[in-house]
Amino acid sequence: MGENVYDVNSAEDLRKAGPSDLIVLNPAPGANPLYLPKKTTEIFAYGVKNKELMHISGPTGTAKSSFLEAMNMEENFFPICKSLGFNDHKPIKLYTAEMVCFETPGELYQRRALKDGTTYDEPSIIVKALKDAEAYRETHHAVLWIKEMGRAHAPSIQGGLLDLMVKTQIRLPDGAHIDAMDVAWVCDSNYQAENDSVHTLVTFDDALKRRFRLNITLDYLTAEQEEQVLYHLIRRWRLRPELRPLVPKIVRMGQKIRYQKIEGNLQSATVPTIYGYEGLLKMMDALPHLSLRDAVFHTLLGNTNLDDSKTAMATFNEVFGLQAEAEDEVSLSRSMF
């Protein structure tokens, strides 16, 4: 089976890729390559250019943070903008603020700080970012990233944030004004399109939800997309081509783990990601003498506890068609041929 993955570094690739085709983005420092539908990158670039209010949601492991960090890089943002015909190729200047840092609505503007034994009112992270963004408005696209909306301590804090986001002129407690017209706001959360996530402190405020003009929901890739990515990784990392026949089963294993977790099983297992698949493939390439079961149980199923061990083994046997007792005698190199 061939790949259907396109490279952001290639103008020809970007031209040929359809809206739902996968684009591989350059990784942020210390991160891994990111595979996303082309339309996701285009909608974000449009939102930044037009100073929109954006909400990025999705379950844990769908690369929300990695997506923003990658699009903050000129080598990803500029090619997307160019492919869309955007001529003002200004880089992004990204400011971040953790929602959990704010305990009251007033702290969105200022908070008490201590210096040399005395207390004073210090501008908040958001106010500092907005002031700094004013100085860069001619040379950069300012993006204010509010991290983890669901970690607000109270609904009133979300209400205070809404008041900040919808104003083009923000009046500070000391009477000063900030021009926020040229700032794009991006909030991320685990809230889903149909159902609020349980990994939150407060529910998503409806008034705030209605204010977002762009909503980007990231989800796990489909099985077909994951297969395409794994074939791409085998070629990218120059791994042994003998690994290719195992790709459909590896992906099926990942899909099974997700299904089991939804059903309330395998709760100790981590949700497989492209990063996890890559670790499995590299181990299988470097240590071909290991059994297939050893490779899987030290990567994709590496965190399963004793309570989940029977379910994990049954899932492994269902996917790979191997009996646990017999698999101890089968090496990975033999199982591929």
- Indicate the number of domains in the chain: 2
Task: Tell whether 211 and 232 lie within a shared domain.
Answer: no
Q: Which of 182, 199, 217 is the C-terminal boundary of a domain?
A: 217
Dihedrals phi, psi of 304, to nearest 5 degrees = -70, 140
Task: Tell whether 9 and 34 lie within a shared domain.
Answer: yes
Task: Tell whether 165 and 295 lie within a shared domain.
Answer: no
Look at residue 32 in the predicted model and tell me its pLDDT: 81
CB atoms within 10 A of CB 12: 9
Point out the residues of the chain with pLDDT beneath 50: 1, 193-198, 323-337
Q: Which of 164, 199, 217 is the C-terminal boundary of a domain?
A: 217
Orientation of helix 247-262 relative to helix 274-286, angle to 10°: 140
Task: Tell whether 92 and 233 lie within a shared domain.
Answer: no
The answer to pTM > 0.85 is: yes
Task: Tell whether 87 and 197 lie within a shared domain.
Answer: yes
Look at residue 113 in the predicted model and tell me its pLDDT: 74
Task: Tell whether 132 and 182 lie within a shared domain.
Answer: yes
| Interacting residues of 188 by C-beta distance below 8 A, sequence separation 6+ | 55, 56, 57, 64, 65, 68, 145, 146, 147, 148, 149
Look at residue 41 in the predicted model and tell me its pLDDT: 97
Task: Tell whether 59 and 165 lie within a shared domain.
Answer: yes
Task: Tell whether 99 and 227 lie within a shared domain.
Answer: no
Look at residue 197 in the predicted model and tell me its pLDDT: 46
Task: Tell whether 91 and 233 lie within a shared domain.
Answer: no
- Per the structure, the complete domain to which residue 73 belongs is given by 5-217
Look at residue 200 in the predicted model and tell me its pLDDT: 59
Task: Tell whether 81 and 134 lie within a shared domain.
Answer: yes
Look at residue 117 in the predicted model and tell me its pLDDT: 73
Cα separation, 108 vs 126, whole angstroms: 7
Task: Tell whether 126 and 20 lie within a shared domain.
Answer: yes
Give all strands of the β-sheet with 53-57 in edge-to-edge order: 92-98, 141-147, 183-189, 53-57, 214-217
Task: Tell whether 155 and 300 lie within a shared domain.
Answer: no
